[in-house]
Amino acid sequence: MLDNYVKTEGGFTYLEKGEGTPLVILHGIMGGLSNFDKVIHYFSKYYKVLMPVLPIYTFPLLKTSVKGFSKFLNDFFNFKQIDKAILLGNSLGGHVALYFTNKKPEKVIAMILTGSSGLYEKSLGDSYPKRKNYEYIKKKAQEVFHNPKVATKELVDEVFEIVNNRMKVIRTLALAKSAIRHNMAKDLPHIKVPVCLIWGKNDKVTPPHVAEDFNRLLPDSDLYWIDKCGHAPMMEQPDEFVKIMDQWLTERKLIDKSNV
């Protein structure tokens, strides 16, 4: 149970599991700990895995932005006394990782991005005109994945609650606008850290051409595809995701397996 590794202290709620080099995971707008279940269990053998809960629905509205969450991440680094870390981000989390790395390159060893926003994303905020229609919301949630069965009833219920909560919708819209405002196209050529891009071939939120653009603009990146997979590869194809990530970290000499 991952809940056993969750702490709340210093104004942060976060998961911490394992020892060694910090691997900091950043979730998306509707993401959470369970999205990275397999990743956390596997890589906590080699790293100190840390996953702060982004304050998407609790931050002051004016700070609910990519820039605001980048500052939040910097505060988390300071609280946990992290000098340098590997960052793993999905969707909004990937965008925050990119923005943070651009501002604080000395604090980032490498990045793994999957379905990251930062160049283009199909906005979540304006795509729910029938938000009180449960079946419509279910269909929209299923579209995030290649296999609609990955959108469990629990996940659909969570999305339904979010899109029918006025304050949560306002914050989701604020983040969608912030993502557009903080387009990273001009910044990516200046981000020198190694980047692993793991992308679902069937991603409809950040389509394959987005991954190709990231790979073209980033100076030191490798792009890997996962077939029959949508916007959240670590959820939909967790075994393949872990395999690719492990292979890349090994090739880049960023993982130490000598003590395991």
Give me the pLDDT at residue 125, please: 45
Q: What is the pLDDT of residues 15-35, one digit of tens each?
A: 999 999 999 999 998 777 778
Q: Is residue 211 part of a domain?
A: yes
- Between 82 and 121, whose confidence is greater? 82
The rounded distance, in Å, linking the Cα atoms of 92 and 56 is 10
- State the residue range of the domain holding 83: 2-119+182-251
Single out the residue of 23, 234, 40, 4 nearest to residue 111, CA to CA.
23
Looking only at the bridges linking them, the beta strands covering 85-90 and 108-114 are parallel
Evaluate whether 237 touches 114 at the Cβ level (below 8 Å): no
CATH number assigned to the domain comprising residue 222: 3.40.50.1820
Residue 218 has pLDDT above 50, yes or no: yes
The whole-number average pLDDT for the span 97-114 is 98
Q: Is residue 230 part of a domain?
A: yes
Give me the pLDDT at residue 173, please: 86
pTM of the model: 0.94
The rounded distance, in Å, linking the Cα atoms of 145 and 17 is 28
Give me the pLDDT at residue 116, please: 96
Q: Is residue 226 part of a domain?
A: yes
- Between 15 and 257, whose confidence is greater? 15
The rounded distance, in Å, linking the Cα atoms of 114 and 1 is 24
Q: Is residue 242 part of a domain?
A: yes
- CA 117 and chain centroid, separation: 9
- Return mean pLDDT, the chain: 93
Q: Is residue 125 part of a domain?
A: no
**Band of residue 120 on the pLDDT scale cut at 50, 70, 90:** confident
Angle between the N-to-C axes of helices 134-142 and 153-163, in degrees from 0 to 180, rounded to the nearest 10: 120
- Between 170 and 199, whose confidence is greater? 199
Q: Is residue 46 part of a domain?
A: yes
Q: How many domains does the chain have?
A: 1
